[in-house]
Amino acid sequence: MAFDNYQAKKFTKHGDEIVDDNLTVEQALQININNQPFTITMRTPGNDNELITGLLYSEDIYRSINNPLIINYHTTKNNITSAAISIKETDLGKGYLNSRNILSVSSCGICGKKELDELVNTNIKIGDFEIKKETLLQMFQQMGKGQNTFHKSGGSHAAAAFDKKGCLLSIMEDIGRHNAVDKVIGALILNKTLKEAKCIVVSGRISYEIVTKAFAAKIGVLAAISAPSTLAVDFAKELGITLLGFCRGENATCYSHSYRINN
């Protein structure tokens, strides 16, 4: 379940009262590759296949889109879920050489990374296309309608992928911003629609690890309701990603490669 009910005491100017609040669930997922610990990520349970597929794809560990991973799950009494994956050594990407083997919290997508250069593969090329500004802004409306966990708890992030005409391909929620993006990329891979995806929109801010995930998936437009970081903009400029922030109402601010946005 993506959210759970907790009792709390709410303080207001009129006094206090006991209330029931829905809170977004956060639990540990330990990922083991070939019987070796790879990472522990804190996530909202649900769509774990998509999360793992997207995570391993975006970090250049396993990128075979035609052969889905076989994942075996086991949950302990402490609600820690472990995912066991077997991958032939010849199929492991360079990202596996930098195995994180540490806790990856839900707000940080690059915990344990040794070098920033290891996050990107400059051999990837992003295609040229155009998206109308109105189409882009409508994507946020579509994403908002699909944020069921957020509407119940107010504590989850969302990411959604679209084709260049604005057709929704996938929407996912999670307590972690980067987890939601990984789930979307994983869903695109499993649904065999990755090549159709041209834009990812997210409900929060954009930091550079989300830019690198979009780059790995060859998705050229990345847009957010909130602000990007300086490093996100720097990476987007270098990698050929069209990066937009403050996409609210009829407004959007483009920080890099604006030629893909048709006003």
- Mean pLDDT across 8-23: 76
Residue 125 lies in a domain: no
Q: Can you give the residue range of the structural domain that contains 234?
A: 131-262
Q: Which of 108, 111, 167, 247 is catalytic?
A: 108
Same domain, 90 and 186: no
Same domain, 152 and 111: no
Same domain, 189 and 110: no
- Is the model's pLDDT at 256 over the cut of 50? yes
- Is the model's pLDDT at 32 over the cut of 50? yes
Structure tokens at 182: 């990984």
**260 vs 2: which has the higher pLDDT:** 260
Structure tokens at 28: 């540990």
Say how many domains are in the chain.
2
User: pLDDT, tens digit, for every residue of 102-156?
Assistant: 445 445 444 444 344 444 555 667 889 999 999 999 999 999 999 998 888 888 9
Same domain, 251 and 176: yes
Note the helical H segments in the chain: 48-58, 133-145, 148-153, 177-190, 208-216, 230-239
Question: At 135, which CATH number?
Answer: 3.40.140.10
Q: Has 247 been annotated as catalytic?
A: no
- Is the model's pLDDT at 16 over the cut of 90? no
Residue 9 lies in a domain: no
Q: Is 94 helix (H, G, I), strand (E, B) or coil?
A: helix
Contact 231, 210 (CB under 8 A): no
Same domain, 172 and 242: yes
pTM of the model: 0.82
- Is the model's pLDDT at 100 over the cut of 60? no
* The pLDDT value given to residue 22: 84
* The pLDDT value given to residue 138: 95
**244 vs 106: which has the higher pLDDT:** 244
Residue 169 lies in a domain: yes
Residue 31 lies in a domain: yes
Contact 164, 131 (CB under 8 A): yes
Q: Give backbone dihedrals phi and psi of 185, rounded to 5 degrees, phi first.
A: -60, -40
User: pLDDT, tens digit, for every residue of 199-241?
Assistant: 999 998 888 889 999 999 999 999 999 889 888 898 898 999 9
Same domain, 82 and 172: no
SS (H, E, C) 10-51: EEECCEEEEEEEEEECCEEEEEEECCEEEEEEEECCCCHHHH
Distance CA 153, CA 23 (A): 5
User: pLDDT, tens digit, for every residue of 167-195?
Assistant: 999 999 999 999 999 999 999 999 999 99
* The pLDDT value given to residue 154: 86
Same domain, 104 and 48: yes
Same domain, 157 and 106: no
User: pLDDT, tens digit, for every residue of 58-81?
Assistant: 989 999 998 999 999 998 777 779
* The pLDDT value given to residue 1: 61
